[in-house]
Amino acid sequence: MTLQHPQTDKINLKGLTLFELEKLVTQWDEPEYRAKQLMSWMYHRQAETFEAMTNLPRNLRQKLTDIAYVSGTHVLTRTPSNADTAVKYLFELTDGSRVESVLMYDQDRITVCVSSQVGCAMACDFCATAKMGFFRNLTAAEILDQLITIERELDTEKSVTHVVFMGMGEPLANYDQTVKAIRLMTDANGLGIPEAKITVSTSGLARRMRQFTSERLRCNLALSLNGTTDETRTRLMPINAKYPIDEVLDATREWALATQRPATLEYVLIRGVNDSVTDARRLRKLMGRLPCKLNLIPFNEIEGANFRRPELNQIERFRRIVADGHHVAPIRFSKGRDIAAACGQLRTIYEKQGVMMPQVS
């Protein structure tokens, strides 16, 4: 993955680990401690120019300006929700690609939902991002920039407390950059967010989930399950044909046992598709196979969607059956429903208003 600026060939210092940055500064005949100074400016003080880094010698600032840069991102739109406290951000990246993030407030908890790819190749049938197809992976810097830009807009005494990888894209399909972004989020020289406050949500790439387990990161893992039989799950999530329910639950169980943390199963409830009493009983049984909790998410009806949200009494009946013996989180209606805060929806609406997606090679 290139770190060069698409137009200037300068190297982006954001997104480099401390080790990579130390190696680079020593190649430039600078002392190793400059790497920590640079990280502090980029992540703690959110500087985007070397000129702003006033504790670096003037000649070094000039040298860095000539050969390197610190990426930022451009906010195209901010859409606050009327229904709750969510704010949806649409970002434009250096090559003109667009991704979205959602900022959510819940008392002292400030969560940002980040994107990991431009579009997504997983083709889940209920998902707006899937309808766009896949354009490219984000770099670690582009993932971090979503957080840094949003944090800059918060009141000075506030900072982002939680991060969820539930925006556009399948984070484990962009494995290296996702893991790198997490390491920089959690590094004290980076954003300093505790591992336990970060959640990676996956459609179930079992092989990558096992690799993720071997990273020994103590963050949270959420499996988007959404079906209790292979037939239904494959209809909703084609990746299930490659990694069926048995295999993906085994991989999730291995993660839960290795990290000593319960996994989260996410289940989008869709009327007439996966919301029957039999589904609820099967789901309860599947949950017995691993340490886990469940997030039930009634389907967020989007324009043009071929699915419907179940009636409230149906949702509640489903929850009651599964909750018998298992931990089920309160039913989660997507935050920011009125601002299309389900992955990919804002971008779709924006493009329908006449702004077309750039071609990205």
Site for ligand SF4 in 69-128 (CB under 6 A): 120, 122-124, 127
d(CA 256, CA 254): 6
CB of 9 to ligand SF4, least distance (A): 32
Kindly write out the interface string for residues 188-217 of this chain, putting x where it contacts ligand SF4 by CB under 6 A and - elsewhere: ---------------x--------------
Nearer to ligand SF4, 12 or 202 (CB): 202
Q: Which residue, 124 or 251, is less far from ligand SF4 as judged by CB?
A: 124
Binding residue count for ligand SF4, defined by CB under 6 A:
12
Q: How far is the CB of 118 from ligand SF4 (least distance, A)?
A: 11
Q: What single string gives the DSSP state of each residue in 217-260? A: ---EEEEE---SSHHHHHHH-GGGGTS-HHHHHHHHHHHHHHHT
Question: Amino acid identity, residue 73?
Answer: T
Structure tokens at 18: 């401390």
Per the annotation, the verdict on 351 as an active-site residue is no
The residue annotated as part of the active site, out of 30, 48, 100, 266, is 100
Find the binder of ligand SF4 among 64, 90, 103, 130 (CB under 6 A): 130
The angle subtended at Cα 296 by Cα 279 and Cα 124, nearest 5°, is 80
Q: What is the rounded end-to-end Cα distance, in angstroms, of the chain?
A: 13
Q: Is 127 a catalytic residue?
A: no
Q: Binding ligand SF4 by CB under 6 A: which of 170, 266, 275, 279?
A: 170
Instruction: Round to whole Å and give the CA distance between 292 and 297.
Output: 16
CB of 25 to ligand SF4, least distance (A): 37
In whole angstroms, what is the distance from residue 105 CA to residue 87 CA?
A: 9
Region of 19 on the Ramachandran plot (φ > 0 left; ψ -120 to 50 alpha; else beta): alpha
Site pattern 219..238 for ligand SF4 (x: CB under 6 A)? --------------------
Binding site for ligand SF4 (CB under 6 A): 120, 122-124, 127, 129-130, 168-170, 203, 343
